Amino acid sequence: MSRAADPSRAGPWLWLGPALLVLGAIYLWPLLDAVRLAFTDATLLRAPTRVSLDAFAAVLSDPALPGILRVTGIFTAASVILLQALGLGIALLVHRGDRRGLPGMAALRALVLAAWVVPGIANGVIWQIVFSEAPFGGLNAVLAVVGLGPVAWLSDPALAMLSAIIANIWQGTAFSMILYYAALKGLDPALQEAAKVDGASALDRFALVTLPQLKGTILAGSVLVTIQTLGTFDSILALTGGGPGQATEVLSLYTYNTVFRGFDLSRGAVLALLLAALSLAAAALYALILRERR
């Protein structure tokens, strides 16, 4: 083959072409169109008639928005913290089990991973069955056996939020767990040994040796999990529909309701952009922290 025919001579663009083309057509173009729609008065019922900032004004003056953002904030923050903590905890336990050669560790890892691949809609349906408050319903029926409950899992606003978070962690923990598990495997055991020789307690070794080495993973995991959580809505849609009232109506579900129930395309576009902005802000924050560290 002659050098002239070598495609890499044409620079990187031939290699990047397919990916950029698909992303441009499926993401960039519609994204620009969403931005355009945000500056119109388009609804699902008719085409846009004029250019305006009304949709932005409507979103900003929407009395429901603060509540939606609060719910989104609580859901996201609690999910991220719990997902990360639980993921790290399980990874540490499994890692310890591995080192000690305890049986059953692979099975446990597999179990956690199984929840991860459950489709979001099915996740909502499953937990709706579990949290059913009918006297013969799932978890409450089990609690009743030991004399507890009944717990208002889905009808009490605060508990409904907790239930939505639990459903989310059930599905999402696997991702954090794999990240930490791999990171733990990659750690230099010599450092641990050195600390042991120095007489550091197990807790000290974790706080002073293990944790600092995991910093990068924690940051990367946090941003990915934050973005995933912000976009979560199919499981909540199936679990509570956003209720009771608006107790579990996160921004992505609110956007979906605005477009598909309120038919308000332009306001939906503004909300969708707000969602994208929040995700980008989380990512930017991450990039900033990463740069500081270097």
Ranges within 137-176 binding other proteins (CB under 8 A): 137-138, 141-142, 144-145, 152-157, 160, 170, 173
Q: Given its phi and psi angles, is residue 199 left (phi above 0), alpha (psi -120 to 50 degrees) or beta? A: left
Candidates 68-76, 77-85, 217-225 — which segment interacts with other proteins by CB under 8 A?
217-225
Are 25 and 19 a contacting pair, CB within 8 Å? no
**In this chain, which of 66, 135, 189, 199 binds other proteins, going by CB under 8 A?**
135
Say if residue 280 is exposed, middle or buried (CB neighbours under 10 Å; 0-12, 13-18, 19+).
Answer: exposed
Q: How far is the CB of 266 from other proteins (least distance, A)?
A: 8
Print the binding letters for residues 250-279 with other proteins: x by CB under 8 A, - otherwise: --x--xxx-xxxxxxxxxxx--xx-xx--x
Candidates 68-76, 77-85, 246-254 — which segment interacts with other proteins by CB under 8 A?
246-254
Ranges within 71-100 binding other proteins (CB under 8 A): 86, 89-90, 93-94, 96-97, 100
CA distance to 13, 15, 65, 262, per residue, from 271 (Å)? 34, 35, 10, 13
Nearer to other proteins, 16 or 208 (CB): 16
d(C-alpha 59, C-alpha 271), whole Å: 7
Ranges within 23-52 binding other proteins (CB under 8 A): 23, 25-27, 29-31, 33-34, 37, 41, 43-46
d(C-alpha 225, C-alpha 231), whole Å: 10
d(C-alpha 255, C-alpha 259), whole Å: 6
Candidates 22-30, 68-76, 77-85 — which segment interacts with other proteins by CB under 8 A?
22-30
Nearer to other proteins, 100 or 190 (CB): 100
**In this chain, which of 74, 125, 162, 200 binds other proteins, going by CB under 8 A?**
125
| 183 scored as a contact of other proteins (CB under 8 A) | yes
**In this chain, which of 39, 40, 55, 68 binds other proteins, going by CB under 8 A?**
55
Are 92 and 274 a contacting pair, CB within 8 Å? no
d(C-alpha 240, C-alpha 125), whole Å: 10
Which amino acid belongs to residue 197?
A: V
Q: How far is the CB of 147 from other proteins (least distance, A)?
A: 12
d(C-alpha 10, C-alpha 8), whole Å: 5
**In this chain, which of 50, 117, 147, 199 binds other proteins, going by CB under 8 A?**
117
